[in-house]
Amino acid sequence: MVKIAIVGGGIGGMTLALALADAGLRDVDVYESAPAIRELGVGINVAPHGMRELAELGLLDAVLAEGIQTADLTFYSRHGQRIWHEPMGLAAGYRWPQISIHRGRLLGILHRAVAERLSPNRVHTGHHTVGVGQDSRGAWCELVDRTSGASLGRVEADLVVGCDGVHSQVRRAFYPDEGPPLWNGRTLFRGVTVGAPFLGGRSFVNIGHSNLRLVVYPISRSHEERGEALINWVGYVATDDGRPMPPQDWTYTARLEDVLGPFASFRFDFLDVPALMKGAEVLYQYPMVDRDPLPTWDFGRNTLLGDAAHPMYPVGGNGASQAILDARVLARELALQPSIEAAVTAYDGQRRPATSIVVRANRQEGPDLCQNLVEERAPDGFTNLDDVVSRQEFEEIASRYKHGAGLDPSVLNDRPSLSIHPRATDHPG
């Protein structure tokens, strides 16, 4: 039996454990650095290509019970003028929905499924990886207690997969001279606020341009059922005053005045942004960082997945979905290829080029580019949008990003399942 050690118990690591079990590979252990799996964080989006994989893992109902089926996407200028609107998820012709959900709730769904389908004992918290490698017998990872630093010994496995995020210890073992993540000079301010539903209650809204942008969307079905909205918001602010990069820590908090000033004018008939920000219990800040695409993830009996492999800017709602796709492809190749080395090579050949395209597209603003065009051509606002940007330009921007990110509806809908033993429910519609 193939033994697999997963370093990191986030969305990518937990999804990989479930994908491996679904593919018949059940000798799987997850080693998480944090002392417990806690349902922390703010909102994320899982696009239809990611939701397809979660549905095929039998998690669709659980995710639908927690999140919001996002109905549409609307771009606005910083003056609150509507630029572009399009349906999302099922309304856009996909056979799977787009879901906006609290990251912690999604992680909880995945963690409970791992405990049920494998064993609660397969998830080891407080186990921090400090080294990985391989020898003639297989792969290994060295572990320490995250709190005390005491050695927890060496775990030996047939394969070690680094799912340990942007500061991956596994990645560092193979690229020790890479240096820190790359900052683009923008800071993300994030919060979650309970408020009134806006624009129909299921809209994903993007306001502003690359140097001053707000993304906002509801993330909780239970709040919706009570007639309110749990609203996730992210403010992007360009730093041009010489301030240093914020710490790369998702729990690092911000002061309200740091974020209110830049968005003071963002008061619109559909949303009062300063009021929204004032209603958040906690404000977080994080630098907008990514890393250059790697030349390979193929290290024999070690490989990378998710943000450890391809950290990207949070553009287009693609980060979680790409990690989910990584997990499914790797599990499939491990089940079908004649050796672990062949499986890792096949996985690298499929997923590394695909995610490199997304990393580079996100650096070019992805679908958000339409706002920059409006800001450049009509900085004081417009009377007739067609005089500023043509519909054809908008459609080309949206289509180009969807194609590169694997979100072309016809391609996704018609692609064969990644399941080893597809079920009828794997391809609804």
What CATH number has the domain bearing residue 14? 3.50.50.60
Nearest to 42 by CA among 191, 196, 202, 197: 191
The number of domains in the chain is 1
Dump pLDDT digits (tens) for 104-156. Answer: 999 999 999 999 999 999 999 999 999 999 988 899 999 999 899 999 999 99
- Residue range(s) defining the domain that contains residue 170: 3-66+103-180+297-364
Q: Which tokens sit at 92?
A: 């856009």
For residue 232, is it within any domain?
A: no
For residue 279, is it within any domain?
A: no
For residue 210, is it within any domain?
A: no
Nearest to 406 by CA among 361, 364, 363: 361
For residue 90, is it within any domain?
A: no
Per-residue model confidence (pLDDT) at position 424: 56
For the chain, the farthest-separated pair of C-alpha atoms sits apart, in whole angstroms, at: 69
**Residue carrying the six token digits 């979660």:** 54
Per-residue model confidence (pLDDT) at position 243: 65
Per-residue model confidence (pLDDT) at position 38: 84
Per-residue model confidence (pLDDT) at position 427: 52
Per-residue model confidence (pLDDT) at position 429: 46
For residue 399, is it within any domain?
A: no
Ranges of residues in the chain whose predicted pLDDT is under 50: 429
For residue 96, is it within any domain?
A: no
Per-residue model confidence (pLDDT) at position 37: 86
Per-residue model confidence (pLDDT) at position 352: 98
For residue 170, is it within any domain?
A: yes
**Residue carrying the six token digits 């391989």:** 134
**Residue carrying the six token digits 């079908």:** 336
